[in-house]
């Protein structure tokens, strides 16, 4: 592979960075993030087994995501303070223990507590990304990040169908036990292969957390990129919150399995991150950002042409999903490539702020999406979904030349 040869020819020997190591980190990202989503299609089975009241089943989905969000703010900044290999190994070990314990629990409170811990430990994905950005040579950093983001997207998209299949063959507990085993193997592989990377920051944890506000205020590129991705991820959340409701009703009347296949088609969008990383490495970040925003807006215009429950209309919805996922994941790589260039000593904190802001944007718009669909149908959803990236595009037009925004 061309990228493999690039790594071999350009990677500094002292960094011990290779394509094989990148594949290992990619597997780590995909396997770790998948743990947050395994329970989503299994809420009914889990609730019935544990005797949870129906009104509390939403917590099965909410607690891992909440834990992940807390981990973004409270755990991932530690990448600027603690030796990165040791931090990642500790979080993977916590993930393995939480998964194994949750597969045996019979108490709802214990299950939900462990689900929260799974989310916190899964935030190690956002420790790995800046960790790899330190290890990867500058000229191919975007391509390296692109591979990792592809792995994250694949982990998210494949987690639901895999957990459904495993639970159908065995039980809902099996997917957590299998994942716990995968975490043990991952822990062993990282312990052997991952190089050490010690941060230069000499701060107490309290000082580290207090510095987040000043970092956000001082870094215009961080604020801009977080806003761009909040809008893009907002359009993604708008689409995937309302699409199952739309597809299950008239004129499509798809079953849950049919909706799952439409969602699975979004995996095709995972081809975008490496392409976006390559463009960023070539200095074409602004051009690619504008293209991603236009694609995201256009995906909603395309979905609006699906007026009937015909195979052609369903094909248009699938195409819209692929284009949207492509655009959002591409912009994520472009944004991370830009913010990681700001200040190496603050890279983990910068990443934590970036991720927290754009996840908040997705959460806010997903709530609005359900209301719009109830009031105005898919037309209302499409208008909001298209306006968000277009607003980001207008904001990007005020961006100053790179030299003027250098840190």
- What CATH code is carried by the domain that includes residue 91? 1.20.1250.20
The predicted pLDDT at position 45 comes to 84
Asked if residue 125 and residue 224 are part of one domain, the reply reads no
Asked if residue 268 and residue 250 are part of one domain, the reply reads yes
The predicted pLDDT at position 260 comes to 72
Query: Is 332 contained in some domain?
Result: yes
The predicted pLDDT at position 16 comes to 54
Query: Is 4 contained in some domain?
Result: no
The predicted pLDDT at position 10 comes to 39
Asked if residue 278 and residue 137 are part of one domain, the reply reads no
Query: Is 5 contained in some domain?
Result: no
Asked if residue 302 and residue 181 are part of one domain, the reply reads no
Query: Is 77 contained in some domain?
Result: yes
The predicted pLDDT at position 13 comes to 36
Contacts of 19 (CB under 8 A, 6+ apart): 1, 3, 4, 7, 8
Owning domain of residue 227: 206-407
The C-alpha atoms of residue 75 and residue 397 are separated, in whole angstroms, by: 34
The predicted pLDDT at position 404 comes to 42
Query: Is 2 contained in some domain?
Result: no
Residues of the chain with pLDDT below 50 are: 1-15, 404-407
Q: State pLDDT tens for residues 164-184.
A: 788 888 889 999 999 999 999
Query: Is 138 contained in some domain?
Result: yes
The predicted pLDDT at position 302 comes to 95
Asked if residue 178 and residue 212 are part of one domain, the reply reads no
The predicted pLDDT at position 201 comes to 67
The predicted pLDDT at position 15 comes to 43
Asked if residue 189 and residue 72 are part of one domain, the reply reads yes
pTM higher than 0.85: no
């Amino acid at each position: 592979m061309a990228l493999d040869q690039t790594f071999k020819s350009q990677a500094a020997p002292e960094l011990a960075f290779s394509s094989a190591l990148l594949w290992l980190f990619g597997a780590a990202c995909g396997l770790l993030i998948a743990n947050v989503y395994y329970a989503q299609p299994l809420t009914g089975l889990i609730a019935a087994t544990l005797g949870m009241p129906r009104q509390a089943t939403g917590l099965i989905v909410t607690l891992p995501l909440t834990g992940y969000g807390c981990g973004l703010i409270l755990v991932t900044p530690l990448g600027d303070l603690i030796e990165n290999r040791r931090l990642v190994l500790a979080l993977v070990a916590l993930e393995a223990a939480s998964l194994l314990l949750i597969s045996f629990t019979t108490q709802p409170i214990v299950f939900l507590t462990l689900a929260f811990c799974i989310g916190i430990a899964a935030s190690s994905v956002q420790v790995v990304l800046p960790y790899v950005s330190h290890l990867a040579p500058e000229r191919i950093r975007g391509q390296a990040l692109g591979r990792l983001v592809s792995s994250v997207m694949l982990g998210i998209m494949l987690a639901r169908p895999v957990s459904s299949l495993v639970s159908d063959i065995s039980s809902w507990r099996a997917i957590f036990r299998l994942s716990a085993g995968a975490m043990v193997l991952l822990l062993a592989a990282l312990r052997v292969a991952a190089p050490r990377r010690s941060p230069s920051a000499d701060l107490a944890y309290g000082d580290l957390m207090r510095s987040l506000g000043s970092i956000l205020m001082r870094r215009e590129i961080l604020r801009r990129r977080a806003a761009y991705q909040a809008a893009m991820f907002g359009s993604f959340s708008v689409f995937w919150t309302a699409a199952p409701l739309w597809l299950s009703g008239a004129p499509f009347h798809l079953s849950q399995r049919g909706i799952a296949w439409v969602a699975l088609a979004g995996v095709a969008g995972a081809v975008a991150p490496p392409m976006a990383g390559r463009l960023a490495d070539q200095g074409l970040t602004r051009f690619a950002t504008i293209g991603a925003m236009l694609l995201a807006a256009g995906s909603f215009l395309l979905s609006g042409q699906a007026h009937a429950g015909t195979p052609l209309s369903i094909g248009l919805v699938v195409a819209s999903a692929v284009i949207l996922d492509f655009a959002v994941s591409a912009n994520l790589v472009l944004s991370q490539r830009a913010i990681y260039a700001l200040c190496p000593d603050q890279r983990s904190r910068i990443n934590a702020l970036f991720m927290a802001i754009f996840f908040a944007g997705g959460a806010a718009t997903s709530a609005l999406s359900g209301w719009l669909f109830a009031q105005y149908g898919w037309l209302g959803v499409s208008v909001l979904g298209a306006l968000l990236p277009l607003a980001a595009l207008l904001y990007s037009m005020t961006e100053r030349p790179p030299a003027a925004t250098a840190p």
